[in-house]
Amino acid sequence: MDTAEDLLNPIHCVSHTLHKTARLVAGVYAGELRRCGLSRGQFPILQQLEASGGGVAMSVLAQRLYMDRTTLTRNLAPLERAGWVIRELDPGDARVRRVAITEAGRARLVEGRKAWRRAQAATLERIGADAWRLLEDDLRRVRKALS
């Protein structure tokens, strides 16, 4: 069993281990989502926008997605060009930009959810639902500890 000192060896790097795992998992989802014209990064944006109802401030959306505003802006551009989202000035505060999902975006999200479900099912089949539940709890604790 590794001691605390052993865990300070770069071979046990938390960041690199999580990154490698995330890349493999992301590949499964990216492959399925690509079939319906969405990227892996666009799907959660549309999900959050639909859940927010009538639109949300970009700063709030970025926070909910654990994303900085610059990255969010870059990810919104193709969604806006496709007509799946709209960005507008907040009527109550011209300094605030709000983002909302369009009907076309909702239709794309329906297709995206089908693709996501295929990816989710394939991933859970490979790692096991019980193992995922335990890992999900552990990852939630990690996020809380690092927040």
> Could you tell me what percent of the chain has a pLDDT over 90?
83
Residue 48 burial (C-beta neighbours within 10 Å; 0-12, 13-18, 19+): middle
pLDDT tens-digit readout, 43-71: 999 999 999 987 899 999 999 999 999 99
Nearest to 55 by CA among 104, 95, 93, 90: 90
- Average pLDDT score over residue span 59-86: 94
pLDDT tens-digit readout, 7-56: 899 999 999 999 999 999 999 999 999 999 999 999 999 999 999 987 89
Into which CATH architecture does domain 32-146 fall? Orthogonal Bundle (1.10)
Q: What is the pLDDT of residue 102?
A: 97
